[in-house]
Amino acid sequence: MALEGDQRIHSLAAMARALSRQEPVFRLLEIAAEEACAALAASTVSVSRVQPDTRTVRTIVNVGDLAPAEQRWPEDEVYALEEFANLELVIEDLRSWVATREDEHGDPGEIALLERLGKGSSVGSPIVVDGELWGEFYATRPVDGTVFAGDDIAYLEALIAILAGALARALREESLEKLAYRDPLTGLMNRRALDEHAARAFDVPGGLTRPVSALMVDINGLKTVNDRFGHPAGDQLIQAVAHTLTHEFQQLPGSLVARVGGDEFVVLVTGHRPELALRVADQLCLRTWDYGAPASISCGAASVLLTQAPTASPAELFAAADHAQYVAKRGGLTQTVTAPDHWVTSRTP
């Protein structure tokens, strides 16, 4: 059951307090989506980002009672304006909209989507940040639920206004860090950030040991995607691989994923046994992505057990992993190639 007037005011106040905290952009979107899902008695809520110059939106987060094919943090859920007239209302006219499965004159694309998701009605509203369209907020209700109405849109637009303010602040705070330490396409750390992180990882206090693994990852098939379908498709492939690497290595806390070249990534895993990093890498080597043409990754790994005064350096660790990755790519292997111990100058002093 949706919240009533006073309850919704309290919900918005709670949202304002929650979003006033310093959080990453992805976390802000998740908080807002969860709050809206409860307040609107929605089945699902999704937040999507407008993709510049592509006339598409890419879903960032889905919450609620998701369909089997839906993911909380989807890798490649993209919708084109040409397929959904209601998206035109959001992107071209900055207008909210409501749709139902029974509306004979409704948006055919949206009706087909509701049928595919097993939902009865939906509502969408633009997210405007600093005067410019940023994305879309989207919610659904079940087949036997009430259709979204004017008071629902009013609540949603008020919530989005609070979210937009939090996003504007978060994006401004992140901008300086991104300029210096982040790759602009993927949002991952760049080579400068990787080198600084590696230097700290190699600085081991006396009496302790620390395992450190480097995994070099290269995308197979990016050139084909770029040549056949253009660089926007290639950029989407790079972003999808970046998201997958980040998501999968979250199971090893403290891991850092960096983009160091056009189709090259490095994962630095600190404080975990090498076999755990290899297990994640091997699973990823079996993954494929399709952005018009199939793509996969090749992976090489090198590990070192550090003490207070290691004679091995981060550069030597990265070089060993890079050589192993070259072997994997040249051989078309679907598993990680591990550098022999002697490829790294010294495991311990």
Task: Note the pLDDT tens digit of each residue in 44-94.
Answer: 999 998 876 667 888 988 999 888 778 888 877 888 777 787 777 777 788
Strand partners, 126: 136
**pTM for this entry:** 0.52
Instruction: Please report how many Cα atoms fall inside a 13 Å half-sphere around the Cα of residue 130, on the Cβ side.
Output: 7
List C-alpha distances in Å: 179 to 173, 192, 206: 11, 11, 35
The answer on pLDDT for 179 being more than 60 is no
Q: What is the pLDDT of residues 302-346, one digit of tens each?
A: 999 988 777 789 999 999 999 999 999 999 999 999 998 655 543
Over residues 52-66, the pLDDT tens digits come to 666 788 898 899 988
- The C-alpha atoms of residue 339 and residue 213 are separated, in whole angstroms, by 11
pLDDT tens column, 284-300: 999 999 988 899 999 99
Q: What share of the chain is helix, strand, coil (3-state, %, to 5)?
A: 45, 25, 30
CA distance 145 to 156: 18
Banded pLDDT at 5 (limits 50, 70, 90):
low
Residue linked to tokens 């990754």: 297
